[in-house]
Amino acid sequence: MKTLELTVNGQPHRLEVDERSLLVDVLRQHLGLTGTHVGCDTSQCGCCTVLLNGDAVKSCSLLALQAHGANVTSIEGLAQPGGAAHPVQDAFSKCHALQCGYCTPGMIMATVSLLRSCPKPSDAEIEHGLEGNLCRCTGYINIAKAVHEAAQQMPSGKSAGGHA
C-alpha cells in the first residue's frame, strides 16, 4: 500500500491505495464518486474522463499514484457555486445531447477541457476534441450542438468551471 494525496473536487484526500490502483477505481470505490463511469477498461471509450490539473484524462488508464499531488475534477465537481449546473451540463440537457447517458459524464468533461483550450470551436475542432469519447447511441449531432451552445453561454476563460 502507498499513500496517495490529491485534491478531488476541491477537497483534499489522503488515502492508502494499492500501487496498481487506477484513478477511476479510487474515485469510484474509495471516494464514492460513481459519476465517473468505467466503459471499456482500455481507454478507448472515454466514459472515465476527468480533469487532472484542468486537462481531460482517461482515468482508467492512469495509475492513481500518478495523480499524487494533483487536482482532480470529476463530473460531481462541476457544479457552480450554490449547486447550479455547469453551463456544459445545461447545454447537454437543452440540446438533448444524451440518450442512455452512459457516455455523458465523459463527454461533458472532455467538452469542458475542449472549451478551455478552444472557447469557440468549429465543427472540426469539436470532432477532434471529442474523438476519444464514444457514444454508442450515436448522439453525436446533438453533442456537437451542445458544445456550440455551451461555447455561446460561457464567458471566455470561464469554461473550466467546477474545481479544475
Q: Would you state the pLDDT for residue 139?
A: 82
| Predicted confidence (pLDDT) per residue in 122-140, tens digit | 999 999 999 999 998 888 9
Domain ranges of the chain: 2-78, 81-153
CA 151 to chain centre: 16
11 near 73, Cβ under 8 Å? no
Task: Give φ, ψ of 115 to 5 degrees.
Answer: -70, -25
Q: Which fold has domain 2-78?
A: Ubiquitin-like (UB roll) (3.10.20)
Reported CATH class of domain 81-153 = mainly alpha
| Predicted confidence (pLDDT) per residue in 49-60, tens digit | 999 999 999 999
- 3: enclosing H helix or E strand: strand 2-8
